[in-house]
Amino acid sequence: MTAPRVLVSDKLSPTAVQVFKDRGIDVDYQPDLGKDKDALLAAIGDYDGLAIRSATKATEKLLGAASRLKVIGRAGIGVDNVDVPAATARGIIVMNTPFGNSITTAEHAIAMMFAVARQIPAADASTQAGKWEKNRFMGVEITGKTLGIIGCGNIGSIVAERAIGLRMKVVAFDPFLSDERAVQLGVDKVDLDELLRRADFITLHTPLTDNTRNIIDAAAIAKMKKGVRVINCARGGLVVEEDLAAGIKDGKVAGAGFDVFVTEPAESSPLFGLPNVVCTPHLGASTTEAQENVAVQVAEQMSDYLLDGAVTNALNMPSISAEEAVRLTPFVRLAEDLGSFAGQLTESTLRGITIEYAGEVAEMNTKALTSALLAGLLRPILTEVNMVNAPVVAQGRGIAVDEVRQSQRGIFETYIRLTVRTERQERSVAGTVFSDGKARLIQIKGISMEASFGPHMLYITNRDKPGFIGRLGTLLGAEEVNIATFNLGRAAVGEEAIALIEVDGPIDDAVLDKVMALEGVVQAKRLRF
Ligand SMILES: NC(=O)C1=CN([C@@H]2O[C@H](COP(=O)(O)OP(=O)(O)OC[C@H]3O[C@@H](n4cnc5c(N)ncnc54)[C@H](O)[C@@H]3O)[C@@H](O)[C@H]2O)C=CC1
Ligand SMILES: O=C(O)C(=O)COP(=O)(O)O
């Protein structure tokens, strides 16, 4: 196997490069490439993995040129610079490092709060200019003040803990914050209006989504206390910068600490130059510790995926641990082959499928297995489908997917049975993995058999009459088609029978026509695995 190639297109800690190298991955470290859209577009087609921070924009256009790309690793939290639906549609996994920089970012928000409360940056500039303006820089105490946290997830919770340690009262607005968690954190869970009314300081810690965009606008500012101070270390776009600037100018808002901006890099902003506004250039995650954490983590996660198929912290795929990947791999193969078997035989519109997981396999990561099965099922019908995008593709096509898990076993310790419903009929196929780690088909349309999956196969249904097998064998022999395995099964004497034959090479159209013309044949199909 040639080594996978990874491009690092943002400024990640060099430790990431070392991790990739140690794992045997061919890595290109080009920390400025992310800022050069055209150069990145020209280069991306050569890579299996892309490691980024926030400067690289993984747009639909870029992904369209990323013909080999399997994984995007975000060394950080926010993935608003990645078009995740476009990546999913192309079967590209998007992973992040959800905790590696949260403490650092929370600390930055707290630092901003102090900087704004005591006007430290302006006082510093004045002092170093030799002015000694002791009366100009009156501050406010933090103790006893109310901090309003909008978005109380990982970072918001750390900010809450630190603020409580500083003897602040904390109120939080987060529709997904449970009452128990609020009690555990020691925060008052409130609605947004109450937070705006009560808070002396407001800090934002939500992702940027359609629901959170412009969450702080003129109407929200109008509900705030006079003298409020607003901190944003989450994302530009959560606050309408013009509206906040107006609030500062008219004296309603006493100060603001901003690390993130609507447009980045921010060369100008309505907030720049206003009194008691402290700005940093998206430094929330920029500490040695956090950058080391996220770089190592993203490089390990990407290597695990590219080398072993293990999935961690993906936004568009269920997790699969490295240990699990070993156990799961033969079942992933089986699920994909069963899906493929049914997909290759399906000739009318798919309505829905039911997947039964029985025995040991029912306790595995069936979400991943279902994704693999769907990929196998849809691949004969659609191009560019894989485990990442198959569930979305199936949903988009209105294919209902039911999963049934059962612990009870049949004669096989464990098996997967797939039932496919099309416009015209219902068909089921079941398989298992033997102790040799190889997959076997154990049942087709209720008929028992025991067949391996091979690269070239012939699937025949026929009426169970004497002489058929002889005629088929003679025909294939005469056509120089060498039979590797021959598997037979039937519903009952004289009824429908199935032959599944593995042959040593491709079967051409002329041979297939002759097979179909044999007496007793109902259906004959070539299958590839
Ligand atoms: N300045 C910087 O360098 C950094 C900024 N960030 C930003 O911080 C954000 C938060 O990070 P985490 O705390 O790790 O994420 P998280 O996912 O743990 O927490 C986000 C919280 O926001 C809440 N939320 C979602 N929609 C909401 C709404 N409409 N109103 C109120 N709350 C809502 C969620 O329920 C969740 O609890 C990230 O999305 C990222 O954009 C993260 C790291 C560094
Ligand atoms: O992790 C995040 O969401 C951040 O915003 C950090 O961004 P950065 O990696 O410093 O460009």
Query: DSSP letters of 425-483?
Result: -EEEEEEEE-TTS-EEEEEETTEEEEEE--SEEEEEEEE--TTHHHHHHHHHHHTT--E
Among the listed residues 53, 74, 205, 235, the single catalytic one is 235
pLDDT of amino acid 409: 62
pLDDT of amino acid 348: 81
CA distance 74 to 88: 15
78 lines ligand 1 (CB under 6 A): yes
Q: Tally Cβ neighbours within 10 Å of residue 456.
A: 17
pLDDT of amino acid 315: 87
Least confident range from 15-24, 67-76, 210-219, 491-500: namely: 491-500
Q: What is the mean pLDDT of the chain?
A: 94
Which residue's alpha carbon is at the smallest distance from atom 23 of ligand 1?
151
293 lines ligand 1 (CB under 6 A): no
What pLDDT, in 10s, does the model give residues 24-65?
999 999 999 999 999 999 999 999 999 999 999 999 999 999
Whether 201 and 228 have beta carbons less than 8 Å apart is answered as yes
Which residue's alpha carbon is at the smallest distance from atom 25 of ligand 1?
206
78 lines ligand 2 (CB under 6 A): yes
Over range 208-214, report the average pLDDT. 90
Catalytic, 282? Answer yes
520 lines ligand 1 (CB under 6 A): no
Amino acid at 86: A
pLDDT of amino acid 347: 80
Question: Distance between alpha carbon 62 and the CA centroid of its chain, in Å?
Answer: 18
Residue 383 reports pLDDT greater than 80: no
Residue 70 reports pLDDT greater than 90: yes
Residue 419 reports pLDDT greater than 70: yes
pLDDT of amino acid 209: 85
**Ligand sitting nearest the alpha carbon of 160:** 1
Q: 235 alpha carbon to ligand 2 midpoint, in Å?
A: 9
User: Any idea which architecture 318-453 has in CATH?
Assistant: 2-Layer Sandwich (3.30)
pLDDT of amino acid 495: 84
Residue 314 reports pLDDT greater than 80: yes
Whether 432 and 416 have beta carbons less than 8 Å apart is answered as yes
Strands (E), 265-389: 277-279, 350-359
77 lines ligand 2 (CB under 6 A): yes
pTM of the model: 0.81
Strands (E), 267-369: 277-279, 350-359
* Portion of the chain with pLDDT greater than 70, in percent: 99
Residue 397 reports pLDDT greater than 90: no
Over range 322-331, report the average pLDDT. 87
Catalytic, 502? Answer no
* Portion of the chain with pLDDT greater than 90, in percent: 80
Most confident of 85-99, 226-240, 368-382, 471-485: 226-240
| Residue ranges of the chain that CATH labels 3.30.1330.90 | 318-453
Query: For the packed helices 102-118 and 288-303, what is the interaxial angle rounded to 10 degrees?
Result: 150
Dihedral of the alpha carbons of 436, 445, 375, 2, in degrees to the nearest 10: 30
pLDDT of amino acid 164: 98
Which one of 94, 103, 184, 206 would you pick to mutate in the ligand 1 pocket, going by the greatest count of ligand atoms within 8 A of its CB? 206
Over range 402-421, report the average pLDDT. 88
| 386 band by pLDDT with thresholds 50, 70 and 90 | confident
Least confident range from 68-82, 217-231, 387-401: namely: 387-401
pLDDT of amino acid 306: 95
Residue 357 reports pLDDT greater than 90: yes
pLDDT of amino acid 408: 64
306 lines ligand 1 (CB under 6 A): no
pLDDT of amino acid 85: 85
Amino acid at 429: V
Residue 264 reports pLDDT greater than 80: yes
Contacts of 335 (CB under 8 A, 6+ apart): 355, 369, 370, 372, 373, 376, 416
pLDDT of amino acid 401: 96
| Residue ranges of the chain that CATH labels 3.40.50.720 | 5-100+289-308, 102-279
Nearest residue to 512 (alpha-carbon basis) of 457, 443, 441: 457
Residue 238 reports pLDDT greater than 90: yes
What CATH number does the domain located at 102-279 have? 3.40.50.720
pLDDT of amino acid 178: 87
Which one of 54, 77, 216 would you pick to mutate in the ligand 1 pocket, going by the greatest count of ligand atoms within 8 A of its CB? 77
Over range 213-235, report the average pLDDT. 98
pLDDT of amino acid 321: 85
Whether 113 and 142 have beta carbons less than 8 Å apart is answered as yes
CATH topology of domain 5-100+289-308: Rossmann fold (3.40.50)
Domain boundaries 454-529, CATH class: alpha beta
Contacts of 410 (CB under 8 A, 6+ apart): 358
Whether 52 and 81 have beta carbons less than 8 Å apart is answered as yes
